[in-house]
Amino acid sequence: MKIISVVGARPNFMKVAPIHAAIKKLNLPVHHLICHTGQHYDKKMSKIFFNDLNIPEPDFYLGVGSGSHAEQTAKIMIGFEKILIEEKPDLVIVVGDVNSTIACSLTAVKLGIKVAHVEAGLRSFDRSMPEEINRILTDAISDYLFVSEKSGLNNLRNEGIPPEKIFFVGNVMIDSLINFLNNANESSILSYYNLMPGEYCLLTLHRPSNVDNKDKLSEILDLILEVSKKKKIFFPVHPRTKKNMEKFGLLGPLNNDVIITDPIGYIDFIALVKNSGLVITDSGGIQEETTFLGIPCVTLRNSTERPITVEIGTNYLVGENIQSARKYIDEIISGKNKKGSIPELWDGKAAERIVNILVGRGY
């Protein structure tokens, strides 16, 4: 059986890594190849992530780079079609919700190749988010839909997806987290930046709705400056965010209690999450990682495609109202945060369930 897995952006690496490891561990009769579309590509950071996660160098690299959604999707489809025609795989695995996910799914399906979508069924119900469109369309055309939380089952059933295509397997992001926690415990990043466990806040920002508007980004950074008077802030800056901060003249006003760095490798980042007192983010995957680790997370978005992290986890969905965010941040810093619990099947074995299903063993 020949399988090609697709990675396009950094979060994809953490989802493909445990699948690759499970195929090797279970000694399955599978020839597993990896295609990196280059949708998001920083040579230094990609190399760090592949090394951190023990993923082999990609078998194929498309190098599509940045561009409009249409340009990027078209370039991926053209490049990936050539690979599929040459390799003739039995199955393509796509993960998450980036442009590479929908582009490679469409290309494979139109060539009669089966598609498995890992992290299927997640919905924010906000179609202004490009990722939401990618999720809906990928799920509609995939042959195997691997679901990470119960909301995904309900969403897919409501959309009329045949139940025989749907499999509740757990969360591959948590597989990676569990697999590399020991490595994270050995990270020296806290000592390097003179951070004490529990005494700092980790910040990530990259959503266009938060960082593309000067007034909005300025409002968030003003809040961060307030928080920094109570807890030191560690802020690995996304390239999009840094570009806008420079364009809007917002880099200067930050103080010595806000540590700004380039993006961080996976192992060091998990160490930062695990030892933080609070995470402030607009990311999707970090909502899951903080819930598993029991770290309070304030999400600066109006909706989340991962509602389980709010319902039983440690995530606070505060919307775009800074006053609301301030209220919850103050409560958390004063020790009034909710405790949360770990969702069902977030046990480090999701990838094994996936590959067993794909080779017909069941679980």
pLDDT of residue 353: 97
Q: What are phi and psi of 79, to 5 degrees?
A: -70, -40
Q: Would 118 be classed as within a structural domain?
A: yes
pLDDT of residue 49: 75
Q: What does the alpha-carbon distance between residue 66 and residue 38 come to, in Å, rounded to a whole number?
A: 9
pLDDT of residue 52: 86
Domain match, 250 and 229 both: yes
Domain match, 38 and 134 both: yes
The answer to whether 205 and 291 have CB atoms below 8 angstroms apart is no
For the chain, what's the residue count? 363
Domain match, 265 and 143 both: no
Which residues are within 8 A (CB) of 340 and not within 5 positions of it... i.e. 6 or more apart? 291, 294, 312, 313, 314, 315
Domain match, 185 and 96 both: no
The β-bridge partners of 4 are 33, 92
Domain match, 143 and 35 both: yes
Domain match, 254 and 205 both: yes
Q: Would 188 be classed as within a structural domain?
A: yes
- Backbone φ/ψ region at 193: left (φ over 0), alpha (ψ -120 to 50), beta: alpha
Domain match, 148 and 284 both: no
Sign of CA dihedral 173, 145, 282, 37: positive
Q: Would 148 be classed as within a structural domain?
A: yes
pLDDT of the chain, 363 residues: tens digit per residue: 999 999 998 889 999 999 999 999 988 889 999 999 987 666 656 667 778 888 888 999 998 888 899 999 999 999 999 999 999 999 999 999 999 999 999 999 999 999 999 999 999 999 999 999 999 999 999 999 999 999 999 999 999 999 999 999 999 999 999 999 999 999 999 999 999 999 999 999 999 889 999 999 999 999 999 999 999 999 999 988 999 999 999 987 677 899 999 989 999 999 999 999 999 999 999 999 999 999 999 999 999 999 999 999 999 999 988 889 999 999 999 999 899 999 999 999 999 999 999 998 654
Domain match, 325 and 189 both: yes
Query: HSE on the CB side for 246, CA within 13 Å?
Result: 7
The β-bridge partners of 31 are 2
Domain match, 202 and 289 both: yes
Provide the domain limits for residue 61: 2-171+346-358
Domain match, 286 and 191 both: yes
pLDDT of residue 48: 73
Q: Would 176 be classed as within a structural domain?
A: no
The CATH number for 73's domain is 3.40.50.2000
pLDDT of residue 10: 84
Q: Would 135 be classed as within a structural domain?
A: yes
Q: Would 258 be classed as within a structural domain?
A: yes
Annotated active-site residue in 69, 117, 206, 238 = 206
Q: Would 340 be classed as within a structural domain?
A: no
Is 206 labeled as catalytic in the residue annotation?
A: yes
Domain match, 17 and 43 both: yes
144, 131, 167, 139: which is closest to 306 by C-alpha?
131
The β-bridge partners of 3 are 32, 91
pLDDT of residue 218: 94
Q: Would 339 be classed as within a structural domain?
A: no
Domain match, 286 and 207 both: yes
Output the six-digit token pair for 35.
């295609």
Domain tally for the chain?
2
